[in-house]
Amino acid sequence: MIQIKNSGQIALMREAGRITGEALIVARDHIREGVSTKYLDTLIRQHIEGRGAKPSFLGLYGFPGSACISINDEVIHGIPSEHRVLHEGDIVKIDVGAFYQGYHGDSARTFAVGRVSDEAAALIAATKQSFYEGLAAMQVGNRIGDIGHAIESYVKGFGFSAVRKYVGHGVGRAVHEAPDVPNYGTPGRGPRLCEGMVLAIEPMINQGTFEVRELSDGWTVKTADGALSAHYENTVALTSDGVINLTEVEIGE
């Protein structure tokens, strides 16, 4: 069942979202060659807990980290490790959630480590813009399929593909709520969008095929062909005043 939020609940979610977005700033400001993903994860946890919140992902379904940190051809769910060190030219995806006063925020970004290839930069830029293409379709009376169609249509123009096995979702008292929000779809299909819906729209975009594979650690998901992947996510609310981006803060992107 889709959980519709009132204005008071959305106000609480705005605070959860702010903490989530700030955690991404902290991570971004420490990304450089030689830094481990565990170090970034520790900084993220310290920031979230320092704001009186809890990391949404820590222990969720058994996940061992406070953030999912995935590098290059890793799509999502990378496990932070002292042995995973960033290198010049990498692209690193950081997915963060914060639980505050009963509600979650959920957001992800893809960051460049130093100078990256033109191809990697183009993928990062297209993935970010595809989020905003999807966001523009988040209007009362539209349907979930309109969001996914807008995302996929945009990235296809660059020869990229939208991951199909993993999708966006509703957000609220649980990190993952109904409905699913695929990054592909048919216009006019799926649940109708209405005021009070809060969704995590999160394009996961690959350079090559949309097919993915899960590693033996039970978490890390990679592209099936070894091509790069990028991720961009915000928690957004549909209100009488339009769409509110709950997790976007000024991070100098």
DSSP string, 10-34: HHHHHHHHHHHHHHHHHHHTT--TT
As a whole number, mean pLDDT of residues 174-186 equals: 98
pLDDT of residue 156: 98
Q: What is the pLDDT of residues 158-169, one digit of tens each?
A: 999 999 999 999
- Cα–Cα distance measured from residue 71 to residue 116, given in angstroms and rounded to the nearest whole number: 13
Q: How many CB atoms neighbour CB 84 within 10 A?
A: 20
- The CATH number covering residue 62 comes to 3.90.230.10
What's the whole-model pTM score?
A: 0.97
Given a cut of 60, whether residue 9 has pLDDT beyond it is yes
For residue 163, the enclosing domain spans: 7-245
59 within some domain: yes
* pLDDT attached to residue 251: 47
Residue 250 domain flag: no
> Is residue 251 in a domain?
no
pLDDT tens, position by position, 209-252: 999 999 999 999 999 999 999 999 999 999 999 999 999 986 44
Domain annotation covers residue 202: yes
DSSP string, 163-188: -SSS-EEE-SSSSSEEEEE-SS--TT
Q: CA-to-CA distance for 57 and 66, rounded, in angstroms?
A: 5
**What is the arithmetic mean of pLDDT over 10-30?**
98
**Number of domains the chain contains:** 1
- Asked whether residue 109 is assigned to any structural domain, the reply reads yes
Residue 1: inside a domain:
no
Which pLDDT band, with edges at 50, 70 and 90, does 253 fall under?
very low
Share of the chain above pLDDT 70, in %: 98
Structure confidence by residue, pLDDT tens digits, 53-106:
999 999 999 999 999 999 999 999 999 999 999 999 999 999 999 999 999 999
CB count in 10 Å sphere of residue 92: 25
pLDDT band at 39 (very low <50, low <70, confident <90, very high): very high
Within a domain: 208: yes
CA–CA dist 43, 197 (Å, integer): 31
| Residue at 253 is within a domain | no
